[in-house]
Amino acid sequence: MTSRRNFIKKAGVLAAGSALPLSVVELSHANTEDNFTFAFISDSHIQQIKGNQFVQNWDRGLQRAVAEANLLDPKPDFIMYGGDIAQIGTAAEIDHGLEIMSALRGKTHYVMGEHDYYLDLGEHWSKRLGDQYYSFDHKGVHFVVLNSIVTTEEWTNKWSSGEERMGVMAGLDDPRGSPFMVGDVQRAWLEKDLKAIDDATPIVVFSHSPLQKLFANWNFWTDDAEQIQAILGRFDNVNVFYGHVHQIQYNQIGNIKFHSAMATAWPWPYPNSYAQATNYMPKLTVPMNRADPFFERDATGWQFIDIHSGKADLQYILPDNDDRKLAYNKDTGRPEDTQYQVKQKASQKHY
């Protein structure tokens, strides 16, 4: 009997740190009225083969995330979708993705991704989902959603068709692409939007591209990152959540904490795995272990964010892996991985 008891006890201890809160979530922080949670799903890349046939792998990924998010108890306040719901932004793909998302129980806010945008400059996306950039307030936190994957007018207009343009932007490593940016118009809007808000108000920004300059080859990049960071710099507490990179990344610049989202569709390798280019990755974060392509959900996932007094704890729910949790560390003043950094578990490097 003893071996089994110990076995289960150990599992129970692990559960506290790494399991999805299916039972009552214990939010053990002060000021409980300011605490809330939301789910964050991103990068489904719904891809049409023809007619009613879609790549089943990506469909399954989004279905899994939706099914798991629906298990959350207590329910999150809302769900954020981080961009790239479609692969080449056709109406069929966007609609099919939204159909899968419709099974979610709760209000969802959407972020624009380049795969949604470049076919028709977001026309169908906006028809279904509304504004491409906007803000809202929730329980004392100011939320901003940016469309950070636009680029120069010149590049945007030089193509013979939307299809051609989308085809180029759809290739992550296509050298004919162009760096992402937020752009003058949105920066002006952002300044105006934040004008009346005092420095102590927690700010949460959603964008598809990282709002940092990480790796130009794969457009892990926002060209006016410094300017955006300058606008956000005066606030005490800023959390940026971005998609696009399909991998775990986190960083802190001044008071701004950056967190990436996993894709539900497929993972991307870390930039330092490309031997022919230099990259400016933030001093990471323990990277993910290499995925097993047989298990199509390996290294994919979604996120669950717990906001307590404006601080954000982020949990990566990974279907074929141990969950990863980034908890805000009061002593160091930054998000830290509870397994790999706090407990100093060695990460693996396997091929």
Chain contacts with other proteins (rule: CB under 8 A): 1, 3-4, 7-8, 11-12, 14-15, 18-20, 22-23, 47-49, 55-57, 60-61, 63-64, 66-68, 71, 73, 171-173, 217-218, 266-269, 273-277, 290, 292-298, 300, 317-323, 350-351
- Indicate the residue among 120 and 296 with the shorter CB distance to other proteins: 296
Estimate the crossing angle of helix 91-101 against helix 56-69, to 10 degrees: 30
> In the complex, what is the shortest distance from the CB of residue 188 to other proteins, in angstroms, rounded to a whole number?
33
- Indicate the residue among 159 and 268 with the shorter CB distance to other proteins: 268
> In the complex, what is the shortest distance from the CB of residue 214 to other proteins, in angstroms, rounded to a whole number?
14
- Indicate the residue among 277 and 342 with the shorter CB distance to other proteins: 277
> In the complex, what is the shortest distance from the CB of residue 203 to other proteins, in angstroms, rounded to a whole number?
31
- Indicate the residue among 168 and 253 with the shorter CB distance to other proteins: 168
Q: Are 209 and 113 in contact (CB under 8 A)?
A: no
- The SS3 assignment for 60 reads helix
> In the complex, what is the shortest distance from the CB of residue 15 to other proteins, in angstroms, rounded to a whole number?
4
Count CA within 13 A, CB hemisphere, residue 190: 26
Indicate the residue type of 161. Answer: S
- Indicate the residue among 103 and 185 with the shorter CB distance to other proteins: 103
Question: How many degrees, rounded to 5, is the angle at CA 280 between CA 324 and CA 271?
Answer: 60
- The SS3 assignment for 41 reads strand
> In the complex, what is the shortest distance from the CB of residue 207 to other proteins, in angstroms, rounded to a whole number?
21
Cα–Cα nearest to 164, from 123, 126, 118: 118
Count CA within 13 A, CB hemisphere, residue 229: 17
